[in-house]
Amino acid sequence: MAQLTLAQAKALAADWADRKEVSDRDQAREDYFRDAEPDDLIRMWETGHNYQGGKLTKFEFEALCEAWAKVFGSLPPDQ
C-alpha cells in the first residue's frame, strides 16, 4: 500500500467534506416538500409561492421540482 503525504491526506479529507456537504444539501432538498400533497405542489407551481405565501426561494424551487418529479413522474410543466 502506498503511503500518502500529509498534504495528500488533507486534500482527500477536503474533497470528502465537500462531497458530504453536497450530499447533505441534496438530501435536504429532496426531503423539503416530502409531506406535500399533490394539490399543494400544483398550487405552489402555479403561484410561485411557498406554504407561507412567500415567493419561492431558489432552494424551495429546486425542492419543488424534485418533489414534482417524485410525485408526478415527470418534470414540472412550462408555465
Q: What is the pLDDT of residue 32?
A: 92
Q: What is the pLDDT of residue 79?
A: 64
Distance CA 57, CA 66 (A): 14
Q: Is the pLDDT of residue 65 over 70?
A: yes
Q: How crowded is residue 6: how many other Cβ atoms within 10 Å of its Cβ?
A: 7
Give domain status of residue 68, yes or no: yes
Total domains present in the chain: 1
- The model scores a pTM over 0.75: no
Which percentage of the chain shows pLDDT scores above 90?
71
Query: What pairs with residue 55 in β-bridges?
Result: 49
Give domain status of residue 77, yes or no: no
Give domain status of residue 18, yes or no: yes
- Tell me the residue range of the domain where 29 lies: 7-72
